[in-house]
Amino acid sequence: MTKNKALVIFSGGQDSTTCLYWAIDKFGQNNVKALSFDYGQRHAIELESAKKIAQLASVPHQVIPINTFNAIQNNALTGNIEVENTTGENGLPNTFVPGRNLIFITFAAAIAYQDKITDLITGVAQTDYSGYPDCRENTIESLQKTIALGMEYEVKIHTPLMHLNKQQTVKLAEKIGAMEAMAYTHTCYNGQFPPCGECPACLLREKGFKAAGVEDPLLTRANANV
């Protein structure tokens, strides 16, 4: 039986790297493609991580530009505002770009449509979802319906991490052989390597690895100064 083709929305972070290896495990390496968006991230290190990991995983990697978010607003991930571990007046973190995942997934679906890819994979999770409503399961289910109607194309959106906490995500990554790649993932909100260890993203990552009883390969690499 021919396996489906899969497209992984891939930032080069811990979660989407886990998703990439999950997709390789499920669909077979020859059927998986990684897709990154160059949307004006504050830190170019993210796209470098993505490129490196896609090479390591031996899957094709496409980088697609989106110049729209920066035009719409300045915010902590694309602009010059300091990242703080606080929420804005709307109760959402100040890293919130309204609709970012809706846009990413819709563009990914447009590429899937053209390339006759039937399965999309995204690393969104509502467990540790940090206040982003576009990471929730009901949002993703609704978007899948909208895309099916709007493109007349049924694409299945997989969210393998949706109900996992960070500890469980680390365990999953270990099980499916993503640990070598994990050394090259980027997580730090401050764009640092070695990671700052103090921003909310670093702290959440550290907590997950500790709870899973696994050493973080990124820190091993940082300590080895490689």
Beta strand ranges found along 54-109 (DSSP E)? 61-65
> Which of the residues 107 through 146 are near a copy of itself (CB under 8 A)?
107, 109-111, 113-114, 133-134, 136, 138-139, 142-143, 145-146
Q: Which of 45, 56, 102, 203 binds a copy of itself (CB under 8 A)?
A: 102
CA-based nearest residue to 122, from 142, 106, 110: 106
98 interacts with a copy of itself by CB under 8 A: yes
What gap in Å lies between CA 138 and CA 29, rounded to an integer? 29
24 interacts with a copy of itself by CB under 8 A: no
103 interacts with a copy of itself by CB under 8 A: yes
Distances (CA, A) of 1 to 4, 27, 92: 9, 12, 45
Q: How far apart are the first and last CA of the chain?
A: 42
- Closest approach, Cβ 98 to a copy of itself, in A, equals 4
Q: 3-class DSSP state for residue 200? A: helix
**Residues 95-100: contacts with CB within 8 Å, 24+ apart?**
95/130, 95/189, 96/131, 96/132, 97/69, 97/73, 99/134, 100/39, 100/69, 100/134
What gap in Å lies between CA 138 and CA 134, rounded to an integer? 9
Residue 60 or 99 with smaller CB distance to a copy of itself? 99
Length of the chain: 226
65 interacts with a copy of itself by CB under 8 A: yes
Residue 29 or 90 with smaller CB distance to a copy of itself? 90
185 interacts with a copy of itself by CB under 8 A: no
- Closest approach, Cβ 106 to a copy of itself, in A, equals 5
- Binding flags for a copy of itself, 141-170, as an x/- string (CB under 8 A): -xx-xxx-xxxxx-----------------
Residue 136 or 210 with smaller CB distance to a copy of itself? 136
77 interacts with a copy of itself by CB under 8 A: no
Show the tokens assigned to 171.
């365990």
Q: Which of 30, 55, 60, 72 binds a copy of itself (CB under 8 A)?
A: 72
Chain residues in the site for a copy of itself (CB under 8 A): 64-68, 71-73, 92, 97-99, 101-103, 106-107, 109-111, 113-114, 133-134, 136, 138-139, 142-143, 145-147, 149-153
